[in-house]
Structure 1
């Protein structure tokens, strides 16, 4: 089992870093893919972050484990391997690792997750870090969450396999929660119950119900999921505005 530092040492070589071509300490957003792995829409969000004056780090949870997309579709998307509370260790390790970068302002961070990535963020924010081995790492309690100022949860998995979805977060940043109206993995009412719980624990939660399917922003069609370019544009705009409102762009 990894320490946070060891986990980040495994993840970092496969992480993609986007940002202005300078060494100024800037706010950074950490992006966590869905169960299908890295897809073409995540760089669009990273570019939106850069346009807002932020750095962006896309984290690949599969390549460091030697997993292919086909394996992930069969094992992770089915819930056999790497459930959200296990992948939460990747989230904590990335927060810890990126916070140490000289070109990142560790006091102004955001996390963003799509489907399984959103589930993993929710687990990282809510689970008790004290037990040895919590969230799949030996020293989860070492991760300081205070720098997380915003969370973007895009159609996060909040179904029956996520039994902790109603557990209050121990750190409650500003949240933009995106629910797909025709999501085959959750109902709107279930997602809104989770959002209400987050509000009750002190988080400022903006809820956007997008009139599309799960993965509406991913450029592919795999029924019942269908790509919607206009909803994608709106999602990117809302994501950018969340970052701009959280930490205004730095000027040269």
Structure 2
């Protein structure tokens, strides 16, 4: 367990910035990778840059000294760093990046793929009332009011996500991408989770005819890359 500032101190050296080459305080999107691949995230970051937005790719595993092979063996299997624990990374990144002079902390977006989406959903729904939540001593330190948008790509909403039916306490505008042939969840389950997330605030959904991680070029097993 650590403070939000300490968590950010761990993450910051492993955070990649992609954005316009200036010092203007611009909107920013924080990208949280999946438990497996992350090779495609720079493509999303470049799209944000082209729109005049700063993008920050936060490497939760590199910050912990974990290789991709180690993450596949432990995080993908649910042994290490479940979504509720990684939610602390989300909070720390929000707090740390919103303090940068080249970031407009009142206009932030969160983007998460699979495990990264799980972490974001846990962060948005956490009570943040007691020390120890999200493995943070000060879980309420980060100000979520600046988070105006969320993008969830095939977020993990399986049985290990025990808090998946917990309503969000902060409900920004959200787009959720559901993979019709996701081996980790049915479309019905994903829809049910999204139905309770924000109550009266409807979450925009896009169901694609693809597998889990369809946008990732290094797909394996039941996951198939779909360039289109």
Could you say which TM-score interval applies, normalised by the shorter chain?
over 0.9
Local SS of the residue matching 2:8: helix
Where do 5+ consecutive residues of structure 2 fail to align?
none
CA contact (8 A) 2:174 2:203 kept: yes
- Once the two structures are TM-superposed, the CA of residue 10 in structure 1 deviates from its matched residue by 0.6
1:21 aligns with 2:24: no
Local SS of the residue matching 1:209: strand
Local SS of the residue matching 2:101: coil
Local SS of the residue matching 1:10: helix
- Once the two structures are TM-superposed, the CA of residue 133 in structure 1 deviates from its matched residue by 1.2
CA contact (8 A) 1:26 1:55 kept: yes
CA contact (8 A) 1:119 1:158 kept: yes
Q: Residue 165 of structure 1 aligns with which residue?
A: 164
Q: Residue 205 of structure 1 aligns with which residue?
A: 203
- Once the two structures are TM-superposed, the CA of residue 7 in structure 1 deviates from its matched residue by 0.6
Alpha-carbon distance in structure 1 between the residues aligned to 2:83 and 2:49: 28
Q: Greater helix percent: which structure? A: 1
Local SS of the residue matching 2:207: strand
Local SS of the residue matching 1:141: coil
CA contact (8 A) 2:176 2:204 kept: yes
1:3 aligns with 2:3: yes
* TM-score, normalising length: structure 1: 0.89
Q: 1:46-57, aligned counterparts within 5 Å?
A: 46-57=45-56
Point out the more displaced range, 13-22 or 189-198: 189-198
1:216 aligns with 2:214: yes
Q: Residue 79 of structure 2 aligns with which residue?
A: 80
- Once the two structures are TM-superposed, the CA of residue 199 in structure 1 deviates from its matched residue by 4.2
Q: Residue 194 of structure 2 aligns with which residue?
A: 195
* TM-score, normalising length: structure 2: 0.98
CA contact (8 A) 2:213 2:219 kept: no
Q: Greater strand percent: which structure? A: 2
Local SS of the residue matching 1:121: helix
Q: 1:122-161, aligned counterparts within 5 Å?
A: 122-161=121-160
Alpha-carbon distance in structure 2 between the residues aligned to 1:166 and 1:106: 29
Residues 220-241 of structure 1 show CA distances to partners (whole Å, capped at 9, x for unaligned) of 23121000000xxxxxxxxxxx
Q: Which runs of 4+ in 1 moved over 4 A?
A: none
